[in-house]
Each structure stands twice: as C-alpha cells, then as structure tokens.
Amino acid sequence: MNNKINTKIDDYKLRFAEEKDVSLLYNLIMELAAYESLEHQVKATEEILKESIFQRKAAEAIILEYQDNAIGYIILFENFSTFTGLPGIYIEDLYIKPEMRGKGFGKVALSFIANLALERNCGRVEWSCLNWNIPSIKFYKGLGAKPMDEWTIYRLAGEEIKNLADNS
C-alpha cells in the first residue's frame, strides 16, 4: 500500500502508520521520552500501541520520512469543543530526530495537520509543550500558535483513576 504524501521538501514524505510500524513507533516514542528525560514514565509497549492505535483506533500515527528513513512521527486524535461545536485535532506527539531539526520538516508536518483539520472541518488544532522546551516554544509562536497560559492541565492516572472510580 502506497499511502505516502509528498511534500514541498524533496525526498520528505509523510504517511499514515500501519500496524507493521508498531516497533518503529515504539522506538521513536522511546527516543522522545529520552529527549524529555521521561523514559521512567513510559508504560506503553508495542502490544499496547498495536491495540490502542490500530485496533481501537484511539489515535492516529503518522510517520515522517526523509530519503526513505523514518525521522520522526506524529500521534494525534480527535477531540471536541463545546464552544465551537466542532471536533478538533489534538497532537499528542510531534517528534523529529534532533539531527533533522531546523530543516523545515516540522513546519511541513504541522502544515499537513492544518490541512487535515480543514478537510475534517475541525475548529482547532491543539498540543502541549513542556515549559523548558524554549526552541519548540519559539518555533510554535513563529507559526502563529498562541500559548493558553490561562489554562492548567489536570490529570488523573493509574491509582487516582481507580480511587475516583471507587467513589461512584
């Protein structure tokens, strides 16, 4: 199956991941975790990714390739805004290998997602960025993205979810 999307950069293509890409995705996720010094938080396994992305279809994965080599990935999923009344795209991960940054690959990847949002009639494209990641923050602001400083993300995970569920 040839599902590669050509871009404005020679030899740079994006493609929706297939189940056979699970190992590649897992390895790229581990690279991102190492970059963010968060390897200790990764609970995903190849089997969990296979089930969540390709069987449950809880998210979509896109592989970024330059000269037929994987240089990064995107994980995204649809969310919903009650204020716009429209779905949105949430980018869980956008990772490009450090040695491939600064070459325009990220901008093209985000442009692809923006086009995907338009095709799907989405009202927003959103993502989170670690506060210490100044190069990424500058890059995002340069694209016109605005930080949502007045919002704080809250999270329940693991035991917190179980404890709250027990209260029902």
- Could you tell me the sign of the dihedral formed by the alpha carbons of 129, 3, 7, 80, in that order? negative
CA distance 4 to 115: 15
Superfamily of domain 4-166: Gcn5-related N-acetyltransferase (GNAT) (3.40.630.30)
- Residue 92: the pLDDT is 97
- Residue 1: the pLDDT is 42
Catalytic residue ranges:
140
CA gyration radius, the chain: 17
- Residue 2: the pLDDT is 52
Angle subtended at Cα 97 by Cα 91 and Cα 101, rounded to the nearest 5 degrees: 90
Residue with tokens 């209260």: 167
Q: Name every residue whose Cβ is closer than 8 Å to that of residue 103 and which is 6 or more positions away in sequence.
A: 9
CA distance 55 to 10: 33
* H and E: helices and strands count for the chain: 5, 6
Q: Which two tokens stand for residue 145?
A: 């993205």
CA distance 22 to 153: 29
- Residue 98: the pLDDT is 95
Q: Tens of pLDDT along the chain (168 residues)?
A: 457 788 889 999 999 999 999 999 999 999 999 999 999 999 999 999 999 999 999 999 999 999 999 999 999 999 999 999 999 999 999 999 999 999 999 999 999 999 999 999 999 999 999 999 999 999 999 999 999 989 988 989 889 999 999 987
State the Cα torsion 18-46-61-154 to the nearest 10°. 160
Give the closest residue to 106 by CA, choosing from 73, 70, 134, 79: 73
